[in-house]
């Protein structure tokens, strides 16, 4: 709509190849965010605000939401503390496995940052170049590199992408076999697992991952990681071999 002018919901549904009801839902949601307007005539035509104005609107709405939450923080904590606690007997308490389904870049990045900050022993990650690039641009990798935990990183990064690992012990990074596709997971301290459930081609808002503390799942994924680690090439030796090969060819 920003490029071609105002459109009706049927126009949008045909252009995006989605159901008309879904088009109405999307347009209604965009209206509520203040970045789409509608006419009073029939059929209703929808128009998009200019992109810079749309971004400004979304940013300021998010700032207002965070400011409100910050203002109400003390009040919310005070109300929470006034709720009586129910104490269970030790015999009644059970330690069940837990899991969370996280959708979108922000919740997933927040969970990864939490795992990095709370790591005490080790942090193992397997992922593609795009997965590691996302962490690099969010400064998560820098925080990980500054920690004192044992790091092992398995990646399919190209030579051009290896700069994101600058400053890391090269023995802690390996280039995983080419046959591994669309797989990314993180194991922390042998007690937390984050498993990406969609490949890196998905849009940021469509990214999905599962976090769990299930001992069985963590053990299984750790075995998979160690197996791939043992069969993978050292990224340092791999880079060195390519450098020698290029010099020899020259």
Asked whether residue 45 carries a pLDDT value surpassing 80, the answer given is: yes
Written as one string, the DSSP assignment of 210-227 is: EEE--HHHHHHHHHHHHH
CA distance 250 to 151: 36
Residue 214's pLDDT is what? 93
Query: Is the domain of 145 the same as that of 230?
Result: yes
Q: What is the mean pLDDT of residues 108-134?
A: 89
CATH number of the domain within which 187 lies: 3.30.870.10
Q: What is the mean pLDDT of residues 127-143?
A: 81
Residues 103 and 213 placed together within one structural domain of the fold? yes
**How large is the average pLDDT for residues 212-228?**
94
17, 52, 68 - which closes a domain: 68
103 strand-pairing partners: 208
Residue 56 sits in the same domain as residue 107:
no
How much is the pLDDT for 89?
63
Residue 82 lies in a domain: no
**Do 25 and 130 fall within a single domain?**
no
Residue 235 pLDDT greater than 70, yes or no: no
Q: Using DSSP, how many helices (H) and how many strands (E) does the chain show?
A: 9, 11
Higher per-residue confidence, 168 vs 47? 47
Q: Do residues 205 and 111 both lie within one domain? A: yes
Q: Is 76 a member of any domain? A: no
On whether both 62 and 101 belong to a single domain, the answer is no
Q: What is the mean pLDDT of residues 86-91?
A: 64
| pLDDT score at 40 | 86
183 lies in a domain? yes
Average pLDDT in the 24-43 region?
89
Q: Are residues 127 and 46 in the same domain?
A: no
Domain that holds residue 234: 97-249
Q: Are residues 110 and 22 both part of a single domain?
A: no
Better-scored residue on pLDDT, 85 or 37:
37
Residue 77 lies in a domain: no
Q: How many domains does the chain have?
A: 2
Asked, for residue 91, whether it belongs to a domain, the answer is no
Indicate whether 236 belongs to any domain.
yes
Q: What pLDDT does 165 receive?
A: 82
Of 49, 68, 87, the domain-final residue:
68
The fraction of the chain above a pLDDT of 90, given in percent, is 38
245: pLDDT strictly greater than 80: no
- Higher pLDDT: 142 or 89? It is 142
Model confidence at 249: pLDDT above 50: no
CATH number at residue 52: 1.10.10.10
* Domain-located, residue 134: yes
Query: Is residue 13 domain-resident?
Result: yes
Predicted pLDDT of residue 181? 78
Between CA 93 and CA 99, with CA 97 as vertex, the angle to 5 degrees is: 130
């Amino acid at each position: 709509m920003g490029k071609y002018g105002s459109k009706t919901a049927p126009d949008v549904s045909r252009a995006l190849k989605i159901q008309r009801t879904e088009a109405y839902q999307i347009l209604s949601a965009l209206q509520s965010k203040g970045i789409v307007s509608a006419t009073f005539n029939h059929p209703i035509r929808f128009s998009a605000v200019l992109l810079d104005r749309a971004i400004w609107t979304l940013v300021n709405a998010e700032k207002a939401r965070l400011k409100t939450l910050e203002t109400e923080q003390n009040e919310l904590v005070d109300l929470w503390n006034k709720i009586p606690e129910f104490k269970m007997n030790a015999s009644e308490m059970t330690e069940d496995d837990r899991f969370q389904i996280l959708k979108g870049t922000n919740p997933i990045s927040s969970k990864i940052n939490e795992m990095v900050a709370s790591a005490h022993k080790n942090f193992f990650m397997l992922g593609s170049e795009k997965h590691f690039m996302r962490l690099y641009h969010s400064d998560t990798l820098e925080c990980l590199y500054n920690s004192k935990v044992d790091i092992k990183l398995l990646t399919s990064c190209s030579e051009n992408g290896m700069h994101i690992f600058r400053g890391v012990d090269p023995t802690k990074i390996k280039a995983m076999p080419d046959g591994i596709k669309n797989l990314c997971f993180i194991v922390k301290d042998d007690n937390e697992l984050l498993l990406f459930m969609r490949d890196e081609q998905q849009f940021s808002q469509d990214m999905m991952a599962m976090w769990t503390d299930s001992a069985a799942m963590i053990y299984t994924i750790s075995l998979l990681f160690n197996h791939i680690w043992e069969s993978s090439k050292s990224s340092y030796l791999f880079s060195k071999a390519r450098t020698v090969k290029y010099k020899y060819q020259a």
